[in-house]
Amino acid sequence: MWNCQIFKLDFIIHYLKQIPSIAALIFLYSCAAIQGPPGGPKDETPPELIETIPKDGTIYFDGGRVELIFSEYVDANTIEKAIRVLPTLPEDPEIIYKGHRILVEFPDSLNENQTYIISIDRTLKDEHKVALAQGIQVAFATGDKIDEGKISGTVTYEKASSVHLWKIQHDDDLTEFYQRIPDYVVDASDSGHYEFRFLSAGNYRLAAVDRSASGSPISPERTVVGLPWTPIIQLGIEKDMPNQNIRIPDKMGGLKMTQAEWLTGNWGILTFSDKITEWISAMQIHAIFEDSSIHQPHQFIDPLDGSKLHLTLPELGENQYITFMTNGIMQGEETILDSGLIKVKVDTSTDTTHLSIKAPAKNYVLPIEEVKIVPFQIVFSNLIDSEKSQYPFSFMQDTVPIPFNFIWASLLHARITPLKNWIPKTSYKISVFRNEIHPRFGRSLKDSVKIISFKTSDFPGYGQLIGSLEKKVDEKMVLEVSSMEKEPSTFRTVVNSYGNFDMIHLPEGNYSLLFFKDLDGNDHYSYGTVHPYKPSEWFYAYPDTVKIRTNWALELNQINLEQHP
């Protein structure tokens, strides 16, 4: 009997000792059960906001905690960038992650009669990296009503963009608004659409920026920014202001001189932030020597890169450094070229390299035209002494010599033009003779004869675009037609006062159409500036792709330029 009791006691003690292990196994099993079994279809269902505590639309909100409950666990790493409280608070609210719940801690000191918005953009993702289907906004009011104002539109930009909104507080805010953090910020969708909701009555200014600058004050010198054509957006009796459309430029401000390099002898090169071809006739480049004397270099654009400008100086003296100075170019209030200075070390060491041909590349196909003779261009690696290089080329089709003319278009490249037009889809050869071509620096070609083989394209097809607007035009209206290629070609024409336009000789292909009011008369769309403040020019993007076909005249009649939500 005693032995039996001892056995029972030992068994109970042993069993109790196992309870923690058994509990641990149960816990591990239950944790593992949260995860779905491996395999099966990939989860592509976006997370959804299923509830807020307090409820969306709550009035007499006095701050404290707001709980956002989602349909599934969200990725903790995406929360910080995805959630904003609008209008912007003096200090960012605390945001706490709780799996499928997110807690937003508001301060107790909120403005009276103010609608506060929790904005959740598509940066928020679930555990499987699936983003929200669309942005979400929920509203809470400290007063007795939720504001109902709304501003919406579309941003046109090649990259991801954000839209900033400021409520104008006083007169100085009309000109200085961009210097402070915006009151409201939303990200434009993949299609460019944006929407501000729950706005109170008042006057607002709007701007769109690259998403990398989202939520920050705007620096006119550093921020790529686009503005609407409406300078002040007024919410009052009219509570819904759609079609506040914005275009953001691909680059910021005017052209800038970014780099200077001395190549050899009296030859240097300047690099600009973008192509300068259109403005070269207005550009003034001066060279400042170490004794402060100013000299005018000879200049020409690089035949392969329109952002590079080659310079030669007749005399260098003993200068070890030269400073290049560019003038500024203005067109109205728009800066085309920033003035600037850049210093470069002179390198007059002897060049011993052989001359080479930089263009055309191997297997080159020359695009030709039926109505004109397109010259063939040869670009060299070194400056050519054109006076000594009078007969450096011969030109053949198979074994038949081709009569031609040629000119030295610059110190780096020659243009060869046959007397009769090119034959489509035909092979040609041009020979370059070492003894007949003389570089200014270094040695001539390594081979006695360099053969350039190439082919011609077929003649391209051209079509015509004819159209009319539904209403007459009372201001200068420009139609901009852009090809939908990797490197688009752009064509412009002025719409006449009756609303008619006619564009002939458009290359075959697909195009987008943009109408804009050319208020500054420069034939280019103006995106607006924040300092001094100037709204953009009004524009209308034709919604359909236009296809131009060879020998066809496409008619687009009675185009309605009214903006639609």
CATH of the domain at 387: 2.60.40.3710
Domain boundary among 456, 480, 502: 456
Contact between residue 132 and residue 74 where contact means Cβ atoms under 8 Å apart:
no
Residue closest to 450 by CA, chosen among 375, 548, 358: 358
Burial call 55-84: b when 16+ CB within 10 Å, e when fewer: ebeeeebeeeebebebebbbbeebbeebbb
Let me know if residue 312 belongs to a domain.
yes
Let me know if residue 35 belongs to a domain.
no
Q: Do 265 and 328 sit in the same domain of this protein?
A: yes
For the entire predicted model, the pTM comes to 0.79
Let me know if residue 11 belongs to a domain.
no
Q: Do 328 and 378 sit in the same domain of this protein?
A: no
Q: Do 368 and 341 sit in the same domain of this protein?
A: no
* Each residue's pLDDT expressed in tens, for the chain with a length of 565 residues: 334 443 333 433 444 444 444 444 333 333 333 444 555 577 789 999 999 999 999 999 999 999 999 999 999 999 988 999 999 898 889 999 999 999 999 998 899 999 999 999 888 999 999 998 888 999 999 999 999 999 999 999 999 999 999 999 999 999 999 999 999 999 998 899 999 999 999 999 999 999 999 999 999 888 999 999 999 999 999 999 999 999 999 887 788 999 999 999 999 999 999 999 989 989 999 999 999 999 999 999 999 999 999 999 988 888 999 999 998 888 776 788 889 999 999 988 888 999 999 999 999 999 999 999 999 999 999 999 999 999 999 999 999 999 999 999 999 999 999 999 999 999 999 999 999 999 999 999 999 999 999 999 999 999 999 999 999 999 999 999 999 988 789 999 999 999 999 999 999 999 999 999 999 998 999 999 999 999 999 999 999 999 999 999 999 999 999 865 4
In angstroms, the CA 215 to CA 93 distance is 15
- For the chain, the distance separating the N- and C-terminal CA atoms, rounded to the nearest angstrom, is 92
When divided into structural domains, the chain yields a total of 5
> In degrees to the nearest 10, what's the CA dihedral of 268, 270, 275, 281?
-80
In angstroms, the CA 417 to CA 295 distance is 36
* Per-position DSSP letters for 271-302, written without gaps between them: EESS--GGGGGG--EEEE-TTS-EE--EEEE-
Q: Do 366 and 442 sit in the same domain of this protein?
A: yes
Tell me what percent of the residues of the chain surpass a pLDDT of 90.
79
| φ, ψ at 129 (rounded to 5°) | 70, 25
- For residue 158, give both structure tokens: 């090649």
Looking at residue 38, its pLDDT comes to 55
Domain boundary among 307, 324, 345: 345
* Per-position DSSP letters for 12-38, written without gaps between them: HHHHHHHHHHHHHHHHHHHHHTTSPPS
Let me know if residue 399 belongs to a domain.
yes
Burial call 419-434: b when 16+ CB within 10 Å, e when fewer: eebbeeeeebebebbb
Looking at residue 564, its pLDDT comes to 54
Looking at residue 40, its pLDDT comes to 59
Let me know if residue 137 belongs to a domain.
yes
Q: Do 300 and 334 sit in the same domain of this protein?
A: yes
Q: Do 156 and 248 sit in the same domain of this protein?
A: yes
Looking at residue 7, its pLDDT comes to 35
Q: Do 141 and 158 sit in the same domain of this protein?
A: no
Looking at residue 69, its pLDDT comes to 97
Let me know if residue 167 belongs to a domain.
yes
Residue closest to 177 by CA, chosen among 150, 207, 133: 207
Q: Do 243 and 294 sit in the same domain of this protein?
A: no
Give me the CATH number covering residue 80: 2.60.40.1220
pLDDT (tens digit, 9 = 90+) per residue, 387-436? 999 999 999 999 999 999 999 999 999 999 999 999 999 999 999 999 99
Let me know if residue 528 belongs to a domain.
yes
Let me know if residue 237 belongs to a domain.
yes
Looking at residue 350, its pLDDT comes to 84
Domain boundary among 280, 310, 345: 345
Residue closest to 514 by CA, chosen among 534, 472, 471, 484: 484
- For residue 224, give both structure tokens: 């790529």
pLDDT (tens digit, 9 = 90+) per residue, 344-370? 999 888 889 999 999 999 999 999 999
Looking at residue 307, its pLDDT comes to 96
Looking at residue 252, its pLDDT comes to 77
Residue 409, C-beta contacts closer than 8 angstroms, at least 6 positions apart: 303, 377, 415
Burial call 243-269: b when 16+ CB within 10 Å, e when fewer: ebbbbbeeebbbbbbeebebbbbbbbb
Q: Do 115 and 197 sit in the same domain of this protein?
A: no
Residue 389 CB coordination number (10 Å): 19
Contact between residue 374 and residue 458 where contact means Cβ atoms under 8 Å apart:
no
Q: Quick one: how far is CA 457 from the chain centroid?
A: 32
Q: Is 161 exposed, middle or buried (0-12, 13-18, 19+ CB in 10 A)?
A: buried
Give me the CATH number covering residue 499: 2.60.40.1120
Q: Do 294 and 225 sit in the same domain of this protein?
A: no
Q: Do 334 and 386 sit in the same domain of this protein?
A: no
Contact between residue 326 and residue 283 where contact means Cβ atoms under 8 Å apart:
yes
Residue closest to 113 by CA, chosen among 156, 62, 184: 62
Q: Do 445 and 381 sit in the same domain of this protein?
A: yes
Give me the CATH number covering residue 207: 2.60.40
What residues make up the domain containing 124? 45-146
